[in-house]
Amino acid sequence: MKKAILFFGLLALFSCEIHFDLEKVSEPAMYVQYLPSSEMDAQIMVAYAEPAFDKPAKQPHPFSVSDVAITVNGNKASVSIDTDKSSWNRHILNVSVPGGIKAGDEITVTVTGKDVPTASATTHVPECPVIKSVTLTQAVLDSSDVWKVTMKLDKPVKEGEYYGIKAVKRNEWYVASGPDMMNLQVDTTKSIEYFNPGQVADYTDLNSLDLDNYVSVSYKDGFMTSDMYMGEFLTLLTSRQIEGDTYTFFANAVDSFAWSDFDIDFDLGDLTDYGDYTDYSDDPGDWEDPEDPEEPEEPEIWIYLGEKNQYRFELYRLSDEFYHYAKAQYLSNYNMLSNFGITPPNFTYTNVVGGLGVVAGISGSGTDWIDPPEIQKPE
Amino acid sequence: MRILRIPLILAAVLVTAASASAQEVERTDTLNTAYVTAVKEKMRNTTQTGLKRIDGEKLRSGIAVFGTPDVIKQLQVLPGVAAGNELMSGLYVHGGDGNDNLFLLDGVPLYNITHFGGLFSSFNTDVVDNLDFYKSGFPARYGGRLSSVVDVETSEGNMKEYHGNISIGLIDGRLHFEGPIIKDKTSFNFGIRRSWMDVITTPALAYANKENGDDVKVDGGYAMTDLNARITHRFSPKSKLNATFYWGDDYLHAGLKEDLDAYMNLSIGTRWGSLASSLRWDYEFSKELRSKLTGYYSRSGSDIGYGFDIGSKSEEEEGMLQMTMSDHNLCNVRDGGIKYDFDWYPNASHHVRYGLMAAYHHYNVTRRYETSQKFAGMDKMEDKNESGDRYDAFEPALYIEDEIFLAYNFTLNAGLRWSLFTTGKNTWQHPEPRAAFKWLINKDICAKLSYTRMSQYAHLVSAMYIELPTNSWMPSTTGAGPMLSDQVAGGIYLTPGPFKINVEGWYKTMQHMLAYNGANAFYPPLVNWERSFTEGKGWSYGLELETTYESPKFDMSVYYTLSWTWRQFDDYYPYPFLDRNDNRHKLNLVGTWRPFKGMSFYFNWNYHTGNRITLPTNIIVYDKDAVSAMLFQAPYNTKLPDYHRLDIGADFNIVFRNDTSLNFNFSIYNVYNHLNASIGMLSQDENGEYYGLAYGLVPIIPTVSIGYKF
C-alpha cells in the first residue's frame, strides 16, 4: 500500500511539471565590477556573461579584454591587465590613478572585449561623514543582552543617502588547562568576528521583533560579493535609519559567559598581547578536517579564566549604484521563495551600459578598537 | 480524451438524476456560475463608472469551489481584475497591489477578509443581501483605499416567517436562519459557517496515536468559523435600527507529546480572524432628506504561538533538566468609529449626499516570551519578557457629492472628500476630488467619464504575496507615508435589445506604494517596520469589454481586458518594470442555461496571459560545469505560460409540498485538468540547454454540496 501511495504521489508530482520556452531577452555581455574608493586602490573585475537562454559553454570561452579606459574627472588613468588564472573567462585588472581617488571624483570606465558589446559606466565617489564617537551601553532586547551602540557623526546625513556599516568584534579568550592543578598552562585564543548590527535574534526566528532588518553583502579587498562565507559583512543602511548625525543600533555581541558563576577573577593585565593577533575568521586551517583521524588530546583540567572583547566600527557612504547593486545581490541569494511567486522578485541591478555589473563609488570612516564598559550581571 | 471522460460521465449522471425530479422543480437561480450582472437601468441613469452590483441570489449561485460559493472568486472573474495566485483570494484591481481594496461589511471596514491562507473569503453568502463593487469613479462617500471598494450589505431578517437553510459541502457546513422576533417590527438573520476538516483529522490522529502506543501522541487540526448576525427593528416606516455582528476565526494547531525516558511536549498554535459589529439608525426626516447614523467597532489580528516543555524523568536523572518555553506573537488592529450620512433631494435637478465620519485606530504588536530552566544543582532560572509597539491613530473625514442633472441628457456628479490622519507626531490631510460626467446619447447609448483621487493611510506589512496570519496592518509613519492614487476612467455603454455592451478604459497612477525590500522572512519586522519597505510608484492602463446576453433560459457574459501594469521602485530597480500580475489579456466566458424549472447548468472559462516571474538572464561561468553567478536583468522579466481553465456545474432543486426544498450542487473546478503554472524557475536538460520549468499545483477538483431550505 505504501509503495502504491509513493508511486501515485511521484506520478502526481511529475505530472505537474510544465516546460516552457524562454523568451530570448539577453545577449552575450561583459560583467564589470569596479568599486573605486578613496581609501584603497580598487581593481576591476571583467567577466564574460553568457545568455541564460543559450547552451552553456563546455569549453573555455575565448573571451578577452581588448581595451580598458578609465577616466577620473576626465583625466585618463593607467590600467594593467592581469588575467585570473583560476578562471576561464575572468580578468582582474589593476588600476593606477595618479594622485589617488578622492571623494567627489567622477569615474568613467569603458571596457572593450572581443565579440561582446563595449561596456561603460560612470559613478561618483561619495564623501563619507567622519565618526566622532561611539558609545556602547548594555541593554536587554527581546530577552537578549545586547549592546546599544550610539554612533555620532561629524555632520547629519541627508535624505536619500545610502550607507554601509561593518561591525567587528575582537575576542581574546583565556583558559587554564593541564593534566593537574600543579601543571596548568594559560592558553589564549584570539579571534575576529564580523557581525550584523541590529541582529538580535536568529533571522529564522518567526518574529524576532528585530529593530534593524539587516541586509548584508561581503565587501572585501575592493570587491563585493553576496557570499557571506567571504566574511566582512557590510550591512546596508539608508538615511532613514540614521537620525541626523546619530545612528543607534543594537549589537548581539554581549558574551553571556562574562557573568557566569564559574568565572574566576584573574588579573589578565599581563596576558594581553596583541602582537600575535590572528584573524581566524578567514583561516581555512581553522576548519576541522573530517578525514584527519588525529584528535587533540584533551587536558584533564580546564578552567575558564575570562575574556576580553573589543569592538571596531566602519561606516561607509555608498553611491546609489553600490547600494542598489548590493541590495539586489543579497535578495537574489537569500530570497529563494520568489521563485514560488510568493515573495518579491530577484533581480540584478546594473549601471553598466552595454553590459552587466556595477561601477560604484564608496568611501569610509572607521574607529579604533573600542573597549566596552564592564558587563553587568542581570538581576 | 482522457480528461473529458470524467466530466461527461458526471454530466450524464446529473442529467439523468435531474430528469426524474424535473416535474416538481421550481425555477430558481441557484446555478453555481460566475454569472454577474449589473442593473441595466441603474447603469444608464447614473454617472457611475466601474460599478458592479451583485445581489445575494446571484452570489449564492456563483462559483462553488469546494462546494461553497465565494464572493471574492466571483469578483476575480470581472474585467479589470487580476486574481494573482491560483485558488487564492487575490483581488488586484486596475493594477492595484491587492492590499488596497476597501472591504465594508454593513459599513464596517474589514482588514482580514480571508480564511486558510486566502483559500476562502470571509463573506458567508447565505446572509448577503447585495454587494457593490467599485473599480473606478469612486463616490465621495468612500475613502481609505486606493483601488477598489467592496461594499457588502447583509440581509434584514424576514419580518413575517421563519426561514432558513442547512447545507454541507466538501470543506464546510453552513446554517442560516431568519425570522421575526416581533412580527412586522423586529427580525433576526443569523448565519454560521464552519469547516469540518477536523472532524476527519481528529479520529485519524486518534487512530494513529493508538497505533503508536502510549509513549507518543500527536495532535493537530485546523478549523475556520464565520458567524454573522443581524437584528433589525422598525420603530416606524421612517425609522429603523440595525445591529450587525460578524466574527471570523481560524485556528491551526499541532502538538507532539513524548513520554519516554525523558518527556517532551511541543505545541504550535495559531489563531487569527476578525470581529466587526455595528449599530445603524436609518431615519427619514422627510421625503427629501434621509440619514444613516452608524457606530461601529472592529478588530482584526492574530496570535502565533509555540512552546515546549521538556525534561528528564528517570529517578537517577530526576531534576537534572527541566525546561519550559512559550512564545506568542500577537498583532491586531482595533477600530472604533462613527459615521453620519445624509441623502438630500433639494429639487429635481440635484441629489446631494454628504456626511462625516471619525475613526479611531489602535495598532498593536506584542511579543510575550516566557522561559524557565532548571539544571541539576542550580537554582531555577526564569525569564519573562513582553515587548512590542503600539500606535494610535485618529482619522476624521468629510464628504459631499452632488448629482446634478444639467439637462435631459447630461448629468454631472461633483464631489469632494477631505480626510485627515494623525498618529504620533505625524498628521496628513488630503482633499480628494471626485467627478463624473454622463452623456446620454440616445436611449441605448451613453458615454461616461470620471476622475477620482483616493488616499490610503493603512499599510499591510507582509513579506509575502499570500495571506498569512503573520501579515499585519500598520498606520502610515514618517518613513512610509500615505499612498495616493489618481484614476481617470471612461466608457461607452450600449443596451441593444437583450444585449448589454460596456467598453470602459482607465488610466491610474499610484504614488508612495510600498514593496517589501527586506530579508527573506515569513514574518517581517513589526517594530520600525517601514525600514523593511521601499517606496515607489505604479501605473496601470487598459481597456475592458463586457458583453452580456440575457434571456429567460440562457444568459451569457463575455469579459475581456487588455491592460498594462507597471511598477517603479528606485531603491531596488531604478527603471519601470511590469508587475507580476500584468496579465496583458484576460478573457472570461460565463454562461448559465436553465433548460427546466429547478435545473440549471453553468460554465465559466477563464483565460489570461501568464503571471510574471523573475529568471536569470545571463550567467557567468567561471570554470567548467560551474555556474558562478546568475544575473537577473529586471524584476518579473519572464512570463509564465498562459492560464486557462474551465469550470462547470449544475444545480438541482427539488421542492416539496410544504415549500421546503432540497438543493444539490455539483461543481467541477478545472474540468479538463489543465495544470496551470503556479511557480517557475530556470532549469537545464542533460545537454546543458536551459529551459523554463514551471509547476502546476491545482488539478481537477470535483465537489458536491447538499442543502435543505425551509
For residue B615, list chain A residues with Cβ-Cβ distance below 8 A.
22, 52
Distance, CA of B191 to CA of B193 (rounded, Å): 7
Tell me if B432 is assigned to some domain: yes
Residue B15, helix vs strand vs coil: helix
Residue B60, helix vs strand vs coil: helix
What one-character-per-residue DSSP string does B336-370 give? EEEEEEEEEEEETTEEEEEEEEEEEEEEEEEEEEE
Q: Do A240 and B691 touch (CB under 8 A)?
A: no
Nearest residue to B24 via CA among B654, B651, B709? B654
**What are the pLDDT digits (tens) for B460-517?**
988 777 778 888 899 998 888 999 999 999 999 999 888 999 999 999 999 999 988 7
Q: Do A207 and B367 touch (CB under 8 A)?
A: yes
For residue B463, list chain A residues with Cβ-Cβ distance below 8 A.
343
Q: Which residue has the higher pLDDT, A319 or B258?
A: A319
Nearest residue to B244 via CA among B108, B56, B53? B108
Evaluate if residue B64 carries a pLDDT over 80.
Answer: no
- Lowest-pLDDT range, A221-235, A253-267, B81-95, B598-612? A253-267
Q: All 3 cell numbers of residue B79?
A: 474585467
Cβ(B47)–Cβ(B450) below 8 Å:
yes
Shortest CA gap A283–chain B (Å): 23
Q: What is the pLDDT of residue A209?
A: 36
For residue A60, list chain B residues with Cβ-Cβ distance below 8 A.
624
Residue owning grid cell 569610509:
A364
Contact A208/B at CB under 8 A: yes
For strand B533-550 and strand B499-516, is the pairing parallel, antiparallel, or unpaired?
antiparallel
The one-letter code for the residue type at B386 is E
Evaluate if residue A271 carries a pLDDT over 70.
Answer: no
For residue A342, list chain B residues with Cβ-Cβ distance below 8 A.
85, 464-466
Residue owning grid cell 454530466:
B11
Which three-class secondary structure string do you get for chain A?
Answer: CHHHHHHHHHHHHHHCEEEECCCCCCCCEEEEEECCECCCCCCEEEEEEEECCCCCCCCCCCCCEEEEEEEECCEEEEEEEEECCCCCCEEEEEEECCCCCCCCCEEEEEEEECCCCCEEEEEECCCCCCEEEEEEEEEEECCEEEEEEEEEECCCCCCCCEEEEEEEEEEEEEEEEECCHHHCEEEEEEEEEEECCCCCCCCCCCCCCCCCCCCEEEEECCEEECCHHHCCEEEEEEHHHCECCEEEEEECCCCHHHHCCCCCCCCCHHHCCHHHCCCHHHCHHHCCCCCCCCCCCCCCEEEEEEEEEEEEEEEEEECHHHHHHHHHHHHHHHCHHHHHCCCCCCCCCCCCECCEEEECCEEEEECCCECCCCCCCCC
Shortest CA gap B484–chain A (Å): 21
For residue B395, what are the contacts with CB-CB under 8 A and spacing of at least 6?
B144, B358, B359, B360, B361, B419, B420, B421, B422, B457
Distance, CA of B557 to CA of B93 (rounded, Å): 19
Cβ(B95)–Cβ(B565) below 8 Å:
yes
Sign, CA dihedral B455-B461-B464-B465, equals: negative
Distance, CA of A125 to CA of B560 (rounded, Å): 51
User: What are the b/e assignments for A313-324, b being 16+ CB within 10 Å?
Assistant: bbbbbbbbbbbb
Q: Do A47 and B622 touch (CB under 8 A)?
A: yes
Cβ(B536)–Cβ(B515) below 8 Å:
yes
**What are the pLDDT digits (tens) for A50-89?**
887 766 555 556 677 878 889 999 888 887 766 666 566 7
Sheet containing strand B108-110, strands side by side = B51-55, B128-134, B148-154, B101-105, B108-110
CATH of the domain at B278: 2.40.170.20
Q: What is the pLDDT of residue B244?
A: 97
Q: Do A23 and B387 touch (CB under 8 A)?
A: no
Q: What is the pLDDT of residue B641?
A: 93
ipTM topping 0.85: no
DSSP B519: -
Q: What is the pLDDT of residue A38?
A: 86
Tell me if B132 is assigned to some domain: yes
Shortest CA gap A312–chain B (Å): 25
The one-letter code for the residue type at B47 is T
Q: All 3 cell numbers of residue B8?
A: 461527461
- Lowest-pLDDT range, B62-76, B475-489, B574-588? B62-76
Beta bridge partners of B107: none
pTM listed for this prediction: 0.80
Closest residue of B to A352, CA-based?
A: B633
For residue B254, what are the contacts with CB-CB under 8 A and spacing of at least 6?
B219, B220, B221, B267, B268, B269
Closest residue of B to A327, CA-based?
A: B572
Cβ(B160)–Cβ(B180) below 8 Å:
yes
H or E element that contains B10: helix B2-21
Q: Which residue has the higher pLDDT, B62 or B416?
A: B416
Distance, CA of B219 to CA of A40 (rounded, Å): 60
Evaluate if residue B183 carries a pLDDT over 70.
Answer: yes
Tell me if B382 is assigned to some domain: yes
Residue B67, helix vs strand vs coil: helix
Tell me if B353 is assigned to some domain: yes
Q: All 3 cell numbers of residue B463?
A: 513579506
What one-character-per-residue DSSP string does B520-533 give? S-SS---TTGGGGE
Tell me if B447 is assigned to some domain: yes
Apex A47 CA angle, A43 and A52, nearest 5 = 150
Distance, CA of A274 to CA of A172 (rounded, Å): 9
For residue A348, list chain B residues with Cβ-Cβ distance below 8 A.
616, 631-633
Shortest CA gap A271–chain B (Å): 32
User: In the predicted model, what is the mean pLDDT of residues B112-138?
Assistant: 89
Distance, CA of B418 to CA of B678 (rounded, Å): 42
User: In the predicted model, what is the mean pLDDT of residues B8-37?
Assistant: 36
Residues shown for chain A: 379
Cβ(B454)–Cβ(B434) below 8 Å:
no
Distance, CA of B198 to CA of B705 (rounded, Å): 18
- Number of domains into which chain B is organized: 1
The one-letter code for the residue type at A168 is V
**What are the pLDDT digits (tens) for A126-143?**
999 999 999 998 887 656
Q: What's the burial of B536, exposed, middle or buried (CB within 10 Å: 0-12/13-18/19+)? A: buried
Tell me if B260 is assigned to some domain: no
Phi and psi angles of residue A339, each rounded to the nearest 5 degrees, phi first: -60, -25
Nearest residue to B112 via CA among B221, B226, B231? B226
Q: What is the pLDDT of residue A282?
A: 44
Average pLDDT, chain B: 86
What one-character-per-residue DSSP string does B649-680 give? EEEEEEE-TTS-EEEEEEEEESTT----EEEE
Tell me if B262 is assigned to some domain: no
**What are the pLDDT digits (tens) for B203-230?**
888 888 887 777 788 888 899 999 999 9
Nearest residue to A166 via CA among A116, A236, A118? A236
For strand B533-550 and strand B554-569, is the pairing parallel, antiparallel, or unpaired?
antiparallel
Distance, CA of A169 to CA of A199 (rounded, Å): 14
Cβ(B507)–Cβ(B542) below 8 Å:
no
Q: Do B622 and A89 touch (CB under 8 A)?
A: yes
Q: Do B692 and A21 touch (CB under 8 A)?
A: yes
Distance, CA of B672 to CA of B646 (rounded, Å): 7
Q: What is the pLDDT of residue B185?
A: 95
User: In the predicted model, what is the mean pLDDT of residues B563-577?
Assistant: 87
Distance, CA of B401 to CA of B450 (rounded, Å): 13
Tell me if B209 is assigned to some domain: yes
Q: Which of residues 103-132 of A touch B (CB under 8 A)?
A: none
Q: What is the pLDDT of residue B67?
A: 73
Q: What is the pLDDT of residue B521?
A: 63
Domain of residue B301: give its range.
2-255+268-709
Q: Which of residues 143-162 of A touch B (CB under 8 A)?
A: 143
Distance, CA of B212 to CA of B527 (rounded, Å): 44
DSSP B506: E
Q: What is the pLDDT of residue B637?
A: 85
Distance, CA of B636 to CA of B631 (rounded, Å): 13
Number of Cα atoms under 13 Å in the Cβ half of residue B39: 12
